Each structure stands twice: as C-alpha cells, then as structure tokens.
Chain A
Amino acid sequence: MTASTTERIALRVHASDRRVARFAAAAVGLTLTEAAIPLPLPGLKPGLANIVTLLVVILYGWRMAVWVTLLRVVAGSLLLSTFLTPTFVLSLVGAAAALLTLALSQRLYPVLVGAVGLSVLAAFAHVGAQMLVVDLWLMPGVSLTRLAPLFLAAAWITGLVNGLVAVRLLNQTHGYRAADRTLSYTASAPARPLV
C-alpha cells in the first residue's frame, strides 16, 4: 500500500506545544533584554529568564520546563551569537543545574518552600555549576574561592528578587491559569494540523 499523494503529512501541534513556544519566547525576550543591561562583572546577571523557568515548573511541571529552558538557551545564544562558545556551555550547564534542583526541590512546594525558596535554591545551583565548569574546564588552577562569595551573594539577591516577581505573577495569573487548564483539556483532543 503506497501513500496517496493527496494525503497530507500533518504536523500536529498540541496545545502544550503552543504553551512551550509562548513561554520560551518570553524567556528569550528576557534573555535579550538583560543582555542589553551593562553589568560590572562578566557573569553577574539578574537572570530574569529564570522567572519563566520557575513559573513553568510551578504551573506545568519540570518536564515542560526542560523544553522551555532548552529552547531559551539555544535560541538566546543564536540571537546573541554565542552558540557553542564557552558562554553557551556555561549558560546550558547553569540552566540544567537549576532545572535539576527545581525538579528535586519541587516536592517541597508549596507546603514547606514557596516560589522564593525554589528560586534561591535554583540560583545557587545555577551559579555553583557554572563556577564548577570554570574551575574544571575553562580556567583550571585559578582559585575561585575569593570570587565564590561574590557570585553566590549575587545569586542570593537575584534569586530572592526573581522569586518575589514569580510570586506576584502567580497571584496575578492564578485565575487565568485555572481557566486555561480546563480549556486545554477540552481543546487538546482535536489537535489542529500545522501547514
């Protein structure tokens, strides 16, 4: 049986695919925005895109956050022309470590730890993994012990601020999310073909 030429090959787009794309686009936008902010030390960044990761983990789970983060890191690096450079590797490793931490500490949410705690933990993991890569691969032999407190303090502050932003956004979007959840269940059954 050969496939007839009239039969169209359709790429089915699930509602969750659109959601991933939407969140990834927001994260890429934040990445580009913060790349334009001048900062005193290379590596010190507010990490605004991590707000998106945090929201996705809390709202939809870490599996979806993996997609969003991966798209953000790759697309962001392509736009900033750092793809496959050490910067990209650092960004990827930091994001992966943060995600892993979020996936593990998510069990504590929301009873023991709120969005702020998750955010700070993820920020620490992010910076810690990056320092490990710098220490082992990029600049072996350089003592980072003096810089470590500086970077961790930065992670503490940005983690706190990002977490508070996430709490605010969660409160604002709570109603819409509840509606969105019921909608996506009903709307996902007849997936619309793309092209």
Chain B
Amino acid sequence: MRFTTGSYRPGPAAKPSQYGLRWGDALVLVLGLLAIIGLARHGAEGARDEVLIRQAGRVYAEASLRLNRIIDVPGPLGVTRVEIRDGRVRVLADPSPLKLCVRQGWLAPGETALCLPNRVSVQRGAAAYDSLNY
C-alpha cells in the first residue's frame, strides 16, 4: 500500500535537526525515570503502612500508620480502643476478660491482633479489598 500518490510532489527534504531529539526530551525522560523510581520505593514502604480494623468480619476502618490517632471500635462487649502512634499500632484497651490482644503490644508488620470476645481484629499491612475477589 502506498500512502503517496502521483499528485504529490516531493517537497523540501527535512533538515537533520528538524524533528530530532531536544534537550527537553532527555529532561522529560530523566524526570520520568526518577519519578518512577521514587514511586516504586515509596510504594514498597507504603504497602506496609496500612492498618485494617475489622469488626464482626466487616471492615470497620482503614487507616494509615503515618497519622497518629486513636480509633474506638464498638463491639458487643464495649469499646475496643486502637492506638496508632509513630508508625506503630496496638490495641490500647479492650473489654475482653483476658485482654490477649492488649498484651500483644505493638504489632509487627503483617501481624494481626484479635480481640475475639469483642469480635475486633486489627491487622497491620493489608489492603481492604482483594482485587481478585472484588
């Protein structure tokens, strides 16, 4: 297939520099690469920065470890108090008799604290949805 027909007369040839690379191209490429690398590093850290709190199997709250806050989760026995501070998370107080989840202390990445009597779970480093099942 020919895109040119006889009616076209070849015009002036392009100067070598007319459509070639510019300094801005290199700048765009380098900045883009830096942004990607930065995002990749940030993402590797950011993935573990999530706290997922469930109550009775449902997602009650999804929080970032970067923001210090205290979340009160109401359950059948009372209020479970979850504390996020300095990039860490723990169960501060729980109405359950043994208080296993409180004694567990600060959670390691990927760890989960279960306050079974009050049906609350606190998971460090998890997304709210599984995209395959969603």
Contact = CB atoms under 8 A, between A and B. Distances in A.
Contacts of A116: 21, 25, 28-29
B46 to A, nearest CB: 5
A152 B36 contact: yes
Interface stretch (A44-52, A68-76, A87-95, A138-146): A138-146
B28 A174 contact: no
Given A108-B24, A117-B24, A179-B8, A139 B43 contact: no
Contacts of A111: 22
Nearest to B43: A145
Most buried by B among A116, A142, A153, A182: A116
A175 B13 contact: yes
Contacts of A108: 24
A144 to B, nearest CB: 9
A117 B27 contact: yes
Interface string A157-180: 001100100010011001111111
Contacts of A179: 8-11
Contacts of B77: none
Nearest to A179: B11
Nearest to B11: A178
B39 A175 contact: no
A114 B32 contact: no
A174 B14 contact: yes
B36 A156 contact: yes
A24 to B, nearest CB: 14
A142 B126 CA distance: 10
B43 A171 contact: no
A113 interface: yes
B100 interface: no
Chain A binding surface SS class: helix
A121 B28 contact: yes
Interface residues of A, number: 38
With most chain A CB atoms within 10 A of its CB, the pick from B10, B19, B22, B32 is: B19
B33 interface: yes
A152 B47 CA distance: 18
A56 to B, nearest CB: 14
Contacts of A176: 4, 8, 10-11
A177 to B, nearest CB: 7
Contacts of B50: 143
Contacts of B4: 176
A21 interface: no
A112 B24 contact: yes
Given A113-B28, A117-B22, A177 B36 contact: no
25 contacts: A108-B24, A111-B22, A113-B28, A114-B19, A114-B20, A115-B19, A116-B25, A116-B28, A117-B25, A120-B32, A139-B129, A141-B62, A141-B127, A146-B44, A152-B32, A152-B39, A156-B32, A163-B25, A167-B21, A170-B19, A176-B8, A179-B8, A179-B9, A182-B11, A183-B7
Which 9 A-B pairs rank lowest in CB-CB distance, beginning with the nearest?
Answer: A178-B11, A113-B24, A174-B14, A149-B40, A117-B25, A170-B19, A112-B24, A114-B22, A117-B28
